[in-house]
């Protein structure tokens, strides 16, 4: 298994994790020469606090919102006002409080090709022909999924399309998700995991990555950027005894 080596940063708790990622995002965005500066947001409880911090001082004033464009790593097949919507969570925590361009995944319409076209139009840089997002934020499910790349699903084998509608039989649903080609083309991929509930999976995934297991035993282990950095931000509860 090739790609970037995983760097691990361990923070005291979820609050410290969110603050560390917010500070790093401000630094990376400030130093970036590209316009737009593109970020793919993640859903879930761990990044919610990060988004709240980005919407408040000092991050709110430090980030160059006028040159930032936000995308999403995945989305459930629900309208934005639905409580399960990743966009809805980000809107309440962040988008309602800053002036920024955000491109919602309309997963309820199933137009994955349309979102892929949008990526191609808005993201100018390419790595091996694939759009290069500046920052991708990801999480880890207790089953090892990331974005909506779930164990045993067809999207795990996708190597050409950038965005797909992925059937997830174990949840009896279909979700829109970025695929490995896009995730692994990004400049900065940051995986966020907090809480004791993630501890066993984090340990298993980090060990598999260290061994270079191929194929990867869990979807998140397949995220290995080909030209960018890969950092796992963990709180102490999720990290023990993995590192």
Phi then psi dihedrals of residue 123, to 5 deg: -110, 110
Residue 1: per-residue pLDDT: 63
160-200: pLDDT as tens digits: 999 999 999 999 999 999 999 999 999 999 999 999 999 99
β-strand partners of 75: 176
Residue 44: per-residue pLDDT: 86
Phi then psi dihedrals of residue 155, to 5 deg: -60, -20
Phi then psi dihedrals of residue 176, to 5 deg: -90, 140
**How many CB atoms are located within 10 Å of the residue 197 CB?**
13
Taking the model in full, what pTM does it have? 0.96
User: At CA 241, angle to CA 240 and CA 243, rounded to 5?
Assistant: 90
CA–CA distance from 139 to each of 45, 160, 190 (Å)?
A: 9, 23, 8
**Which residues of the chain have a pLDDT value below 70?**
1, 241-243
Residue 240: per-residue pLDDT: 83
Query: Which structural domains are found in the chain, ordered by start?
Result: 6-239 (3.40.50.1360)
Residue 2: per-residue pLDDT: 75
CA–CA distance from 129 to each of 120, 125, 162, 182, 185 (Å)?
A: 10, 9, 11, 10, 9
The order of strands in the sheet holding 173-178 is 74-76, 173-178, 163-168
């Amino acid at each position: 298994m090739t790609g970037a080596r995983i760097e691990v940063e361990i923070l005291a708790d979820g609050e410290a994790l969110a603050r560390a990622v917010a500070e790093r995002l401000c630094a990376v965005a400030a130093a970036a020469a590209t316009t737009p500066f593109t970020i793919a947001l993640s859903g879930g409880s761990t990044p919610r606090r990060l988004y709240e911090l980005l919407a408040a001082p000092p991050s709110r004033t430090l980030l160059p919102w006028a040159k930032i464009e936000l995308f999403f790593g995945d989305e459930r097949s629900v309208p934005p006002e639905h409580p399960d919507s990743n966009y809805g969570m980000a809107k309440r925590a962040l988008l309602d409080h800053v002036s920024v361009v955000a491109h919602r995944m309309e997963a309820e319409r199933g137009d994955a090709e349309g979102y892929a076209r949008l990526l191609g139009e808005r993201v100018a840089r390419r790595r091996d022909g694939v759009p290069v997002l500046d920052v991708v934020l990801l999480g880890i499910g207790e089953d090892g999924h990331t974005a909506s790349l779930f164990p045993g699903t067809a999207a795990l084998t996708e190597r050409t399309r950038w965005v797909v509608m992925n059937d997830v039989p174990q949840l009896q649903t279909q979700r829109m998700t970025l695929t490995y080609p896009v995730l692994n083309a990004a400049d900065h991929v940051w995986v966020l995991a907090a809480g004791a509930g993630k501890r066993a999976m984090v340990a298993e995934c980090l060990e598999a990555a260290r061994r270079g297991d191929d194929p990867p035993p869990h979807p998140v282990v397949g995220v290995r950027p080909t030209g960018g950095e890969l950092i796992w931000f963990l709180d102490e509860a999720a990290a023990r005894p993995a590192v």
